[in-house]
Structure 1
Amino acid sequence: MTGADLAKLNVGGTNYVTTHDTLRESVYLTTLIDGEWDEQTSDEIFIDRDGFLFRFILLYLRTGDFEIERCYLKSLKNEADFYGIPALSNKIDKIMDTKEEVLYQLLTEEQFNSSTNHTIDPFLLPSYIGRVKAIPFQLISSISCLRKVYHCPREIFVHKESYRCGYKCNRFPVSSDYQAHTYEDVKLYLVRFNTSGDV
C-alpha cells in the first residue's frame, strides 16, 4: 500500500486515516478522493461534519455493521444521507422502526454481580453506566437500605419467612435472647433492561 492509497480526513476537527477502497461505498467521499473537489489545497481533506458520528460511518464502511446507542440513531441517519450511503440509511430506518420494550428491575448485589460476571467497586459505578455488555441492561442507580431478616428458631435455612416455619418451628423452645427478626444493610441496583437487545 502506498501513500497515494491512503485518505487523510479531518472531520470536524477529528483526524481519520483510511484507504480509498474503504470509502468507495460513499458517493460523497468517493467524489472527494477522486479529486473532483477543487477546494482542497492540502493532502488532508477537511469535512465540516460531526467528527464523533463519522467514527460509526467509517466503522460501517469497513465492516458493514455498527453499534451505537439508540439516542444517536437519528443523527447518524442524517450523516449517512449526507455522505450518500443509502444502505446504511436504510439499516438505521429498520432499527428505528423496531419497537423498544423497556423493563426496570431491582437487583440484589449478588444478582447484579452475577449478571455482569464480575464484582463492581461501588466507587466506580457511574463509569459503568451503559457499558455492561454481558446482557442488555443499563445501570440506572444503586441504593442502600435496611432489609428485615427472619431467623428460624430451628435454624432451618429455607425458612426465611415466619409463615414458612410452620407449627413445629413456631413451638420450638428458644433462649431468652432469641430475636425472630433483625435488620441488615443491603445494596440494591435499579437496572433497565431492553428486550430488543439495544441499550
Structure 2
Amino acid sequence: MSEPIMLNVGGRLYTTSLATLTRYPDSMLGSMFGGTLPIKKDLQGNYLIDRDGKIFRYILNFLRTSHLDLPDEFQELDLLKREADFFQIKPLLEAVQKVKGKTTEVRMNTILNIIHDSYLHNISSFTVKIVSVQLFSTSCALLRLLNSKFYYTVNGESTPIGTKEEDHTCITLEWIESGLNAMERQHLMQNWKILYASPSQRKIKNLQMFFQQVIKIAVNGGFLLHSFPVTSSSPVILHFTQCC
C-alpha cells in the first residue's frame, strides 16, 4: 500500500491515494501524479491544485468509485462540468453530460508545458548560445506529432531529435541559436546540432521562433490553441483542445 497523499485544492484539504489519482492515466491528475507534468506543493508540503475545493469532492469520489453521486439538490452542474473538463476525466465528462441530458461533443483539454533554459558556450574564438528545452504534455498524441516534425542537421545530414519512439512522456531538445557570422556558422554546421522544423524545413533561430513552430505544428495537426502567455518565462504553458 502506498502512503496517503495530501492535496490542497483551493484551500480545502483532501487525503487520497496514488492509485485513486492515477485511475485515468490520460487525465490531468493522471499526468500530474504519474510524473508527466510538474506539480507544486504548499508551505505545509501538501500537493497544491489551484481549483475549486468544494467541487473537487465529487471529482475525487468519482475517481474512487467510477460513479457520479450527486445530492438531489445539487445546483452546480455547470461548474462540475468545467472542473471535469479542466482535469480531463473523460468518463466523468460523459457522466455529467448524461445528467445534463445533452449530447455535446467531448473536447479533450491538452496542456503543453515548455520548460526552457539557455547558457553560453565557448567554441574556439567565439561564444555561442545553447538553448535547451523540455516538452511535457497531457497528450501523447501531441508529443508524437511534435517528435515527428522537428529534426537536427549535423554536417549537412538530417538526424532525428533523439526521442525514443516509445517514450511519449517528454521531448528534450538542445540547439545553437543563430546570429553568427558566415565562418562561425560554417564551423557550427559541421560540429553542432542545428534545429529544423518540417515540412517547412525552417531553421529554428531562437526560442520565440521555436514557440511559433510548435503552435503551427499543433494547430495543423488538429489542436485548437486557447491561450498563449505574454511573457516567455519558464515554463511556458500552452492550452489546446482536441476533439475526441
Structures share fold, TM-score greater than 0.5: no
TM-score, reference length from structure 1: 0.44
More helix by share: 1
Select the structure of larger CA radius of gyration. Answer: 1
TM-score, reference length from structure 2: 0.36
**Larger RCO of the pair (alpha carbons < 8 Å, separation 6+):** 1
